Structure 1
């Protein structure tokens, strides 16, 4: 069942989403060679609680941490560890926050120091595919339109689109209907209506789209051990069009990046 949000609820959700955005922006300054992901996890938990929110992932489905930390060939759901990040790594950080009864859920893949050109392109294409998909999230379109747009854009660059893991509706629960695959056929699936809120999150592999789940029940890696990237935004349909509730603004400010990539999704 899809839960339509009122304008008031969307504004509450924006607050939760922005807490996650600010958390990722704070972490952007800390992602560097020699830092452990457990250290970053503790920073994030403390920061979220300071904002009057609860870490959205901690304890959810018995997940033991605040952040999903997935380096290099890990796709999603990685555990923070004491292993230091290294120059040339990439690290996908997925974060959630719960405040006033609603969740925010938001992800970004960071470069650790300088990364090679091939991996940098993977990150650029994956992030752009996110916006390609968001453009299709509007009244009258369908789930398959978003998935097709992301898949078509990504596969043109020769990358694999993960099938088993998808975006989702968002609200009082972290995962609501509808599921939002990053692949699909145009004109298929649930039709979008005013007040829907979803998390759109392409997961793109440098090689095969195939993945494997580890024995811990959480960690997902690419089958060929090539790198994977993950970017995610929370998006609402307002006045028939997609409006971002989350933002990469704080990350961009921390990293000195100037971009207008989100401007079209502000009303």
Structure 2
């Protein structure tokens, strides 16, 4: 596996392209075009681009939920061909099981894999506490706010002990105040218990608040337009001159939404 200094490359996206059958059956629709990048261990990478540019498709390919038309995804030297516990996924819609409590949802992955009850409950309780939901273990999704449900989704993904967290606009459906709060919480969680994170957003402030590195994607068919190393310490301020400078530069280079 490639090393950069003492930091390991944990995932590589190599010349990935993806086509789907056109809706009218007239041919193919190209969504991703020749995308290549690598991700370092414990890096917080943001995939940023205009709406409907193929970001979710790319996340699904990285997760093993979609197969690339050409190219490949390599995780720790092995080709990604299907979903695996090593890659946790958090979407906009958390898809929690409504008939399970917070504890039941968070411990679901380890339970399905046959982990003993005591071990999985201890692990689940750790992540429930980590995301700030201590005391809500017996609550059901219908009893929780949108932000709380998203916390459950993050805890559930972490409980599977993934090497990589794939997050597809997880705060996109939240109101502005809750979204800011969840961005701060995610940064706190990541600092507390490092994971490699690949985070998708079309919100420039969110990208700059969270990222070690931003990959700017083009309109569909999506390709890489430019990469930015975000050289700012955490926590970050939205009104910091350096933050605003990055914001202006990236916004000016961004394709307009179709």
With normalisation by structure 1, the TM-score equals 0.31
With normalisation by structure 2, the TM-score equals 0.32
Structure number, greater radius of gyration: 2
